[in-house]
Each structure stands twice: as structure tokens, then as C-alpha cells.
Amino acid sequence: MNRKINRRDFLKLAGLLPLSLAAEPFTRFASSTNEKQPEQQNVLVVVFDAFSSYNISLYGYPRETTPNINRLSERAVRYHNHYAGGNFTTPGTASLLTGVLPWTHRAFQPAGTVTEQYVNHNLFSAFKDYYPIAYSHNGWVNILLYQFLSRSDELIPRDKLLLGSDELLHILFRNDDDIASVSWLRDINVEEQGYAYSLFLSRLYQEYQEKKFKDLKHLFPLGLPTAGSAGSDNIFLLENAVDYLADRLTTIPQPFVGYFHFLPPHDPYRPPTEFYKHFHNDGFKPPKKPKDIFAKRPPKDILAKRAEYDEFILYVDREFGRLYEKLESAGLLENTWLVLTSDHGELNERGITGHSTEVLYEPVIRVPLMIFEPGRKTGMDIHENTSAVDVIPTLTHVTGQPFPDWVEGGIPLPPYGSGTESTRNIFTVRASKNGQYDPLTQASVMMVKGNHKLHYYFGYSLLPEMQQIKLFDVKADPEELTDLSASQRNLAGSLLDEMKAKLDEINKPYQ
Ligand SMILES: [Zn+2]
């Protein structure tokens, strides 16, 4: 093939491009050519939801959960002390996508939105002349993506990569997609109350689903992966999403700015047969930690839960490896900055499982950050403290875009940025019940400064005096086993003063 003709042009010439792709309704770049501008490189951010650094072998976890990522990252910059902006999807994702912390973008609550200002200050607006493309399995992420992207941008519908809904539509209503979509909403999708316009079609759908998924069930001993609330129409395979997106990227105009947010290893943990029981009875014993005051219902077998999570990570690892290889063989990695990260972590210790928790221990807020730079052949390890708010300024810096001057303390990270501030404060914020425009009255906040990390919980009635602080030397004690807040009272006091001054500053406009 002539190298000057890209794949899309070639397929068009050869008449091989599927009609559905040729007629994609995304018109933003319809009149521009597909000629690559060589000086402009693509940007692609890949998020695996609830992917904790703590459970990644590359970052020191004793179980080998990420053999493919380990191997591929020998060509990447690997950030070892990287923190999410929040400890669950909405605030964490919003921080990654806006470059500001939750107390600034104000998407505090589950399914929350950012304030008006950030609708135009985000990853996509930072790359103005790029082709924006995004996908998420996670509905809460889609709420944010709807805020950031306009109709002419390519926001791939969530349903498109869930199994079930789409295909049945085309079987039932083969001739008219528009009518099919309307009919789908009215007739088939049983609403929350269990009511559907057409009971006949609902039943038909259910039978269809049962038959269809029977063939897949043996591949996932704990059930098929599901996104959001339980229900067969939320089933997905990570393989499908990876295949679709890798193909789609070879056909869209360049340069593009892509954001793909896949649900695994988020719970429910559903490892495929290949990895099921992989870590079962492997003799691994995590360090013993005290039950936390915020522990709710301790799961029956927290060690088994952790093993399932680790096995689900093996699925993520395998599929990231496949995504990487697909992008590489399509030639995309030659001019694409690929970022692997997460929106928050996960916890299976201290009587807590998951991330619906007030606590801010390392496993629930420390997330991977790896930057695969075009042409890089050697790995590099960065141990400085870094934050989700650094991702946008780093990407604009390396691609020669203007500095996003709205970001909150974010900097172009080493080795790319010049002059890093190794003592700057890194924050994570959880205020899941806070009104969007109210000052923070009940929240969990943490501040990392150098080797030390301060946890500050306030406004929770179950705490003595409604507040609690903890201090750890997270470099010497990454498991957070020795609380130094009493033995190093002066240090704890001065960090707390700094934290409170920051909160005063943040709360001022909302008093
Ligand atoms: Zn999440």
C-alpha cells in the first residue's frame, strides 16, 4: 500500500469500508482532509475503573497481576506515587478530565456534574483542533462526557459496546434504525417499576438474552461482566470494547484526543475462566491491619474478595496488552501519546471492600499512571508525588499545545516538565454528600507532602468530636500501619493547619 494513503482512504477506494463507518454521523471534520499533520501527535487516555496501584505487581504488589503491563511499560514512563483526585468515579474522573480537584470542579456526589466553568475547561477543550472521541462503560462518566462534548464530537453511545440491546434491535427492526431506537425505549426496556409498554417484546428480549448468553456463560464462572445495575442488558465483554475502539481509531481524522473509560476491574469482579481461581490458595498473606472506624458490613471473606479483584486485574492486563498491540500494529503508537491510568483505587482490607467508603488509605486513592511516549524504547521510573490534575498539563506540554492555565496546581510532569516542585502538596477529596455550592461540612481530605500523608476526616457523627486525623510516613510505611499523629504531634499539627487554611480558602466563595 502506498504509505501516503491512510487506511480509511484505502478502504474507501477499495470499497471495503463498512457502510456504518462510512456514514458515521460525526460531522465536525467532514470537510477537512484526513491527511495527517506530522507535527501534531494524537493523545489517548485509557482508564480502567477502580484500578488500584496497590494491587499492581509493577508497583510492588507480591501477586503477579500485570505481566503484560509490566512488559510493555519497559517502554513507558511509570509514575509510582500517583494520586486520584477523589475516591470514587464522579469526583475522580472529573479531576482527571478537568485538571482541578473536586472542591473546585464540584462534582462531589455520585452521578454529579461539574460547574459551568469546566464545561469549557477540560481535556477536550485543551486540544482545540483535535478530533475528540470518547467512550465509557460507566454511566456516571458519561454524564461528565455529555457535559464536555458537543453533538458534533464523537461520544460513542454507552449501549453500543454493551451486549444485547443493539443486536436485538437490528434483528427485530432490520429496516429502520430510527424507528428501532424509539421502539426500543418504549417497548422493550422494562422500566424501573418493572413495567414495559409491550410485555410481549420484553419477554422475547429476555428469552433472547438467555439464549444468547448461554454460550458465553462458561467463559465467566462468576457471571458475565456487567456495567452498573444488575441486568442482562448491561453485560459487556472488555474484548469487544477493545476491538471496536482500536479499529475505530484507525479510521478517524488525526490528530485525535481520545478518552476511553473501561469498567473492569470495578466490581462485580468477574474474571474469565482463564484467570478464575488463579490466586486461590496461593499462600499470599497481606499484612494484618486493624478494622477501621468506617468499616460497615465486613464481607464474609475479604481475602477471597481480594483474590477475585486480583484475578479481574489479570483480565484488564491481558486486554490492555491486546489494545497496545493493536494500536502498535496499526502504526498509531508512532504518533500517539498513550496514557494508562484510573479514576480511583479499590480497597479490600480493614473491614472495607470496594470504594464506597469515607476512607482515603493508599489502595483506594493511589492509581497507576504510565505514559507511553511515541518512539520511547526504555522505561523510566518516577517516584515523585503526582496527581490526576497533572495529566492535562503534561499532555499539552508534550504536544506543544498552550498551557491550560485553569488547572489547579497541575504541572507538566518529569521527565517532560522543566523544574518540578517535589515538595508541592497533593490532595484527594471526598465529600459525597456535599451540596454542589455549599462549603465543605462533611468530608474526607488527604494531603501528601514529601514523605508524609495527612488524613483529615471531619463532620462525620460517628467520629469522636466529629473529626479524626491520621499521619503516616507513606514512603517508609506504605501500608499505613503506624499512625504518627500522636508521636509526631508538631508535624501533624502544622500539616493540619496547612490543610485547614486550604479548606478556608476553598470554602470562602461558598460561605
Ligand atoms: Zn470509578
Give domain limits for the chain: 40-159+224-274+287-425, 164-223
- Compute, in angstroms, the gap from residue 163 CA to the centroid of ligand 1: 21
Average confidence (pLDDT) over 9-18: 39
The Å distance, Cα 148 to ligand 1 centre, comes to 18
pLDDT of residue 163: 80
Q: Using one digit for the tens of pLDDT, what is the confidence trace for 347-372?
A: 999 999 999 999 999 999 999 999 99
How far is ligand 1, taken at its centre, from the CA of residue 287, in Å?
A: 25
Q: Residue 13: pLDDT above 80? A: no
CB 72 within 8 A of CB 46: no
Please give the distance, rounded to the nearest whole angstrom, from the Cα atom of residue 340 to the centre of ligand 1.
14
The pLDDT of 81-110, averaged and rounded, is 98
CA of 353 to the centre of ligand 1 (A): 14
Distance in Å, CA 137 to ligand 1 centroid: 10
pLDDT in tens, 35-91: 444 469 999 999 999 999 999 999 999 999 999 999 999 999 999 999 999 999 999
DSSP single-letter state for residue 235: B
Closest CA to 200 of 214, 215, 183: 183
- Give me the residues paired with residue 354 across strands: 347
Is residue 1 scored above 60 in pLDDT? no
Residue 177 pLDDT > 50, yes or no? Answer: no
29: confidence class by pLDDT, cuts 50, 70, 90: very low
In this model, does residue 202 exceed pLDDT 70?
no
- 301-313 mean pLDDT: 95
Taking the model in full, what pTM does it have?
A: 0.85
Do the Cβ atoms of 454 and 492 come closer than 8 Å?
yes
d(CA 266, ligand 1 centre) in Å = 7
pLDDT at position 244 over 50:
yes
Q: How far is the CA of 94 from the centre of ligand 1 (A)?
A: 11
For residues 93 and 85, is the Cβ–Cβ distance under 8 A? no
Instruction: Look at residue 386 and give its three-state secondary structure.
Output: strand
Cell readout for 330 is 496499526
Domain 40-159+224-274+287-425, architecture per CATH = 3-Layer(aba) Sandwich (3.40)
Distance 76 CA to ligand 1 centre (A): 24
Give Cβ neighbours of residue 159 (< 8 Å, ≥ 6 apart).
165, 166
Alpha-helix residue ranges (DSSP H) falling in 2-115: 7-14, 19-22, 67-72, 89-98, 102-105
Q: What are phi and psi of 235, to 5 degrees?
A: -75, 145
Separation of 391 CA from ligand 1 center, angstroms? 17
Task: Output the nine-digit C-alpha cell for 460.
Answer: 462525620
User: ∠ at Cα 50 (49, 54), nearest 5°?
Assistant: 135
Q: What is the pLDDT of residue 421?
A: 60
**Which region among 170-174, 207-211, 356-360 has the lowest average model confidence (pLDDT)?**
170-174
Which string of DSSP letters, residue by residue, matches 170-197? HHHTTT-HHHHHHHIIIIIS--TTS--S
Give the separation between CA 300 and CA 302, rounded to whole angstroms: 6
* pLDDT confidence bin for 22, thresholds 50/70/90: very low
Locus of grid cell 443486536: 167
pLDDT score at 31: 38
Q: How remote is the CA of residue 49 from the centroid of ligand 1, in Å?
A: 5
Strand ranges for 356-459 from DSSP E: 369-372, 380-387, 426-430, 443-449, 452-458
Å from CA of 92 to ligand 1 middle = 7
Residue at grid coordinates 504488589:
61
pLDDT band, residue 275 (cuts 50/70/90): very high
pLDDT at 127: 97
Question: Residue 365 Cα, ligand 1 centroid: separation in angstroms?
Answer: 11
Is the pLDDT confidence value at 20 over 50?
no
Q: Which residue has the higher pLDDT, 90 or 23?
A: 90
**Is the distance from CB of 87 to CB of 50 less than 8 angstroms?**
no
- 355 CA distance to ligand 1 middle (Å): 8
Mean pLDDT of the chain: 87
CA gap 12, 360 in Å, rounded: 52
Residue 168's pLDDT is: 52
CB atoms within 10 A of CB 169: 19
